[in-house]
Structure 1
Amino acid sequence: MSKKVFCKKLGEELPAIPMAPYPGELGQRIVNEISHKAWMQWLQHQTMLINEKRLSLADPDTRTYLAGEMEKFLFGGDYEIPEGYIPPEK
């Protein structure tokens, strides 16, 4: 049985991420407070940001920007959605 966490993003107890997906203190916070499901949602959002804004991961400013957006997305905050983005219908 996998470890569970009370996910701050989704507000329920869900399977945890098996290992820190990000270095340092923020990575440990993610492991302790964010579910695997919420992490996968962040990865999709991050991919959308990279594609829609045509970001280069080789640029240190881009990595800093994405780290800030990740923290806002996962722990609550006004994270960015690209201008003109229309989410797919469910």
Structure 2
Amino acid sequence: MSRTVFCKKLQKDAEGIGFKPFPGELGERIYDNISQEAWQMWLEHQTMLINEKRLSLVDQDTQKYLAEQMEKFLFGGDYDEAEGYVPEDKK
């Protein structure tokens, strides 16, 4: 059974995430306030950042950077974009 949340990213009621996607307080905030649709948007954005900036997920600085970017992306803030990145559907 799905649950509904008021998504802070999309500013609308939408289907919530079915699990706590991140540990700690931030994971709880995401679970309570972010929709599945917005979470999927973040996953796509995160993949783009990892690929375009050639980030290593084993590096602790990268993990901290991605957590900061995730919070900014989902809850409002000036998050990073990859310079010169053009999505597949825009080429």
Query: What TM-score do the two structures reach when normalised by structure 1?
Result: 0.95
- 3-state SS, counterpart of residue 78 of structure 1: coil
Superposed CA RMSD in Å reads: 0.9
* Identity rate, percent: 63
Task: In structure 2, list runs of 5 or more residues that go unmatched.
Answer: none
Give the equivalent residue in structure 1 for 2:17: 17
* Residue correspondence of structure 1 range 1-90 to structure 2 within 5 A: 1-87=1-87, 88-89=89-90
2: CA distance, partners of 1:39 / 1:64: 18
Count residues with an aligned counterpart: 89
Shift, 1:86, TM fit: 2.4
Aligned amino acid, residue 3 of structure 1: R
Aligned amino acid, residue 19 of structure 1: F
Q: Deviations over 1:36-77 (max 9, x none)?
A: 000000000000000000000010000000000000000000
Query: What TM-score do the two structures reach when normalised by structure 2?
Result: 0.94
- 3-state SS, counterpart of residue 47 of structure 1: helix
Q: Deviations over 1:7-44 (max 9, x none)?
A: 00001000000110000000000000000000000000
Runs of 4+ displaced beyond 2 Å: 86-89
2: CA distance, partners of 1:2 / 1:58: 33
